Structures are given as C-alpha cells and as structure tokens.
Amino acid sequence: MSNPAVSGSNPGGGSPQPLSLSTKLAYGAGDLGPAITANVLIYFLQ
C-alpha cells in the first residue's frame, strides 16, 4: 500500500503537491512570450 502523500499523483484531493523547480520554470517560460508580445504591442500602439 503506497502513501498518497509520497506518490506523484493526487487523485483524491487533499493538499496539492508542490511544483518542482523545472515545472515552475516551464510555466514561467510559457508565460514570458505572450507577456513580452503584449507589452511591445501596447507600447507601439499608444
């Protein structure tokens, strides 16, 4: 019987697992492109 707090999946709810550094970097890099594009467009369209 495995401990759900130790395993990677969280099917039953409870407290969520903290994100790893690589996952945080992946989400951050994914948000960076659209943010830069939006700011450049806003700057030039004013």
Question: How many CB atoms neighbour CB 4 within 10 A?
Answer: 14
Task: Please report, for residues 4, 16, 19, 20, 21, the alpha-carbon distance to residue 30 in angstroms, rounded to integers and kept in the order given.
Answer: 29, 22, 15, 16, 14
Task: Quote the pLDDT of residue 16.
Answer: 80
Alpha-helix residue ranges (DSSP H) falling in the chain: 21-44
Query: For residue 5, what pLDDT is reported?
Result: 54
pLDDT at 14: 63
Question: Do 14 and 4 meet the contact criterion of CB atoms below 8 Å apart?
Answer: yes
Structure tokens at 4: 């759900």
Q: Using alpha carbons only, what angle is made at residue 39 by residues 34 and 45, rounded to the nearest 5 degrees? A: 125
The reported pLDDT for the residue numbered 6 is 53
Tell me, what's the pLDDT at 41? 94
- Predicted confidence (pLDDT) per residue in 1-46, tens digit: 555 555 555 555 567 888 899 988 888 888 888 899 999 999 999 8
